[in-house]
A and B are shown apart, each in its own frame.
Chain A
């Protein structure tokens, strides 16, 4: 059981470039989330999805887009990368009930230069 898998683990982007952070889960969870974690700050929600075809903005959605075509996959798209998007990005999923909270991926460390 792989849980939540994120790729890539590390990436350096130049300002203005675009990329997609991949996230896949094999637990048949309906709920999926993208967070960013900056040094000394808590996890901030970017986007979330409660099921295939349904997405919604979180606390810090500007500069990002998501899609949810399948239950398993929840990619995060960065368009026109900016230095402010330098961060560690975590994908997470959970079952419909709240018990045990999230299962997190191992993260993607992104640097925009």
Chain B
């Protein structure tokens, strides 16, 4: 999962396998979460979001799970493809207490063909 520090967590998976990327968020009161995908040399791009009144949300090949009890967020990618290789960032936000999202350090996913 993500952590603060100089070494980016890494995950390597075989093409076609499922990937699970984890994130421990910091504020138990955060009520909105987003997963971003950041390809090399590019800005982060929105993948999927979830609000705190949900435990699970599914998109196309991606699922986000939220466990508020342990402040844990995960991103599941089904049938991982080489194009999924990137850094994945989780972000948290608390409505009405600030205007910014807070980001984790990211997890680097490498898909092995």
Chain A: residues with CB nearer than 8 A to chain B?
A: 4, 31, 33, 35, 39-43, 45, 48, 50, 58, 90, 92, 98-107
A-B contact number at CB 8 A = 61
User: A101, B34: Cβ atoms under 8 Å?
Assistant: yes
**Chain B interface residue count, Cβ-Cβ cutoff 8 angstroms:** 28
Q: A40-B5, A58-B100, A100-B46 are in contact. Are A107 and B41 (CB under 8 A)?
A: yes
Q: Nearest CB to that of A39 among chain B residues?
A: B6
Q: How far is the CA of A103 from the CA of B44 in the complex (A)?
A: 8
Q: How far is the CA of A98 from the CA of B7 in the complex (A)?
A: 30
User: B49, A100: Cβ atoms under 8 Å?
Assistant: yes
Selected from B6, B45, B46, the residue in CB contact (under 8 A) with A40 is B6
Find chain A residues with CB under 8 A from B41 CB. 106-107
Q: A100-B49, A101-B46, A104-B44 are in contact. Are A40 and B8 (CB under 8 A)?
A: yes
User: B91, A45: Cβ atoms under 8 Å?
Assistant: no
User: A45, B100: Cβ atoms under 8 Å?
Assistant: yes
Find chain A residues with CB under 8 A from B4 CB. 41-42
User: A42, B89: Cβ atoms under 8 Å?
Assistant: yes
A105 CB, min distance to chain B CBs, angstroms: 5
**Extra inter-chain contacts (20) besides given A41-B6, A100-B49, CB under 8 Å:** A4-B43, A33-B100, A35-B103, A40-B7, A40-B8, A43-B44, A58-B100, A90-B44, A99-B49, A100-B34, A100-B46, A101-B34, A101-B36, A101-B46, A101-B91, A102-B44, A104-B43, A104-B45, A106-B42, A107-B42
Chain B: residues with CB nearer than 8 A to chain A?
A: 2, 4-8, 32, 34, 36, 41-46, 49, 89, 91, 93, 95, 99-106
Q: How far is the CA of A97 from the CA of B89 in the complex (A)?
A: 21
Find chain B residues with CB under 8 A from A42 CB. 2, 4, 89, 102-106
Most B CB contacts (10 A, CB to CB) among A58, A90, A102, A106 go to: A102
